[in-house]
Amino acid sequence: ISSSQREFDYYLLALEWPGTMCKSVSKCCNTNGCCDSSVPLYEFTIHGLWANYDDGTWPSCCGSTKTDFEINQVLPLMGEILKYWPSFSCSSTSLCHGKNGLFWAHEWEKHGTCMFPEIKDEYTYFSTTLDLYAKYNITKMLENAGLLASNDASYPLTEVISAIESGVGASPTVTCSSGNVEEIRICFYKNFKPRDCVLESNSAYNKLYSSSCPEYINLPSFTSI
Ligand code: 5GP
Ligand code: 5GP
């Protein structure tokens, strides 16, 4: 990992909603997490932990072939990774150096390698991500606010954002696909205290702030392919 990389400003944990992700998937391509009925998914799963700059941009693929994903480093975490970090999509993840088609391995190469020296190796990347995921249960926060998965109900985007704000203590970004919640992203200072994902002082604020979502959004139930 290059230490000449400009230091990032904050962490972003991107979580995705299986009920939405699996709508655009027609076959199961991975033994590691899938949209079939073998492991029904009723909770947000992990997309990745990302490095961001305050100006709304971000670094990516900061590694070398030396930081290519190496499975040995994460064997102790494999049980949790398989459970919480599925690879839904069949499209290849060959950006950076990835060749093995595992979504989470791609996330290390694209994003994890840009967090040096805070995240010094692959093991630290995966353990940090899993710890944050366990600490901030987005699905529970929505449930507590009465926002339950449903194929009938739709909810005001503002209520979704408020539920996360009270649970996390800072504002998330929400992304949608055809009115369905696709991702909820929560952000952290480098000391892992929560912070707003998009600062109003940021010139990209209006573009970044949940702009792909309509005023009322859906949280579709998981249906297996
Ligand atoms: P999307 O267009 O779905 O928001 O993002 C596509 C890809 O761009 C993501 O998979 C991610 O790799 C990258 N990306 C989008 N937004 C951010 C961000 O705020 N920070 C970082 N580090 N990457 C992002
Ligand atoms: P990003 O660029 O956002 O970090 O990663 C997204 C890339 O990973 C896309 O090319 C997408 O097709 C692929 N991918 C493979 N499996 C998954 C998955 O389960 N969820 C998402 N969001 N992308 C996946």
Q: What is the mean pLDDT of the chain?
A: 88
CB of 175 closer than 6 angstroms to any ligand 1 atom: yes
The more confidently predicted of residues 208 and 105 is 105
Percentage of the chain exceeding pLDDT 70? 86
Residues assigned a catalytic role: 47, 107, 111
Q: Which residues line ligand 2 (CB under 6 A)?
A: 16, 21, 47-48, 86-89, 91, 93, 103, 106-107, 110
CA 43 to ligand 2 centroid distance, Å? 18
Cβ(58) – ligand 1 distance below 6 Å: yes
Angle subtended at Cα 67 by Cα 83 and Cα 11, rounded to the nearest 5 degrees = 60
As a whole number, mean pLDDT of residues 196-217 equals: 73
Contact, 102 vs 69, CB < 8 A? yes
Stretch 6-16: mean pLDDT: 96
Lowest mean pLDDT among 49-53, 111-115, 199-203: 199-203
For residue 12 and ligand 1, the question of a CB distance below 6 A is answered with: yes
Judge whether 75 and 126 are in contact, CB under 8 Å.
no
For ligand 2, the distance from its centroid to the CA atom of residue 17, given in whole angstroms, is 13
pLDDT in tens, 142-182: 999 999 999 999 999 999 999 999 999 999 999 999 999 99
Q: Which of 103, 104, 125, 176 to mutate to test the pocket of ligand 2 (most atoms within 8 A of CB)?
A: 103
CATH classification number, 10-217, choose in 3.40.50.1360, 1.10.3720.10, 3.90.730.10, 3.30.1950.10: 3.90.730.10
The Cα–Cα gap between 100 and 106 comes to 9
Closest ligand to the CA of 100: 2
Predicted pLDDT of residue 205 = 56
Counting atoms of ligand 1 from 1, which one is nearest the CA of 110?
12
| pLDDT greater at residue 66 or residue 172 | 172
Strands 45-52 and 10-16 turn out to be antiparallel
Kindly give the distance from the C-alpha atom of residue 214 to the centroid of ligand 1, in angstroms, as a whole number: 19
Q: Tell which residue, 13, 185, 27, has the closest CA to residue 115.
A: 13
- Could you say which ligand is closest to the alpha carbon of residue 89? 2
| Ligand 1 in reach of 111 Cβ (< 6 A) | yes
3-state secondary structure the chain: CCCCCCCCCEEEEEEECHHHHHHHCCCCCCCCCCCCCCCCCCCCEEEEEEEECCCCCCCCCCCCHHHCCCHHHHHHHHHHHHHHCCCCCCCCCCCCCCCCCCHHHHHHHHCHHHCCCCCCCHHHHHHHHHHHHHHCCHHHHHHHCCCCCCCCCCEEHHHHHHHHHHHHCCCCEEEEECCEEEEEEEEECCCCCEECCCCCCCCCHHHHCCCCCCCEEECCCCCCC
HSE-CB of 15 using CA atoms within 13 angstroms: 22
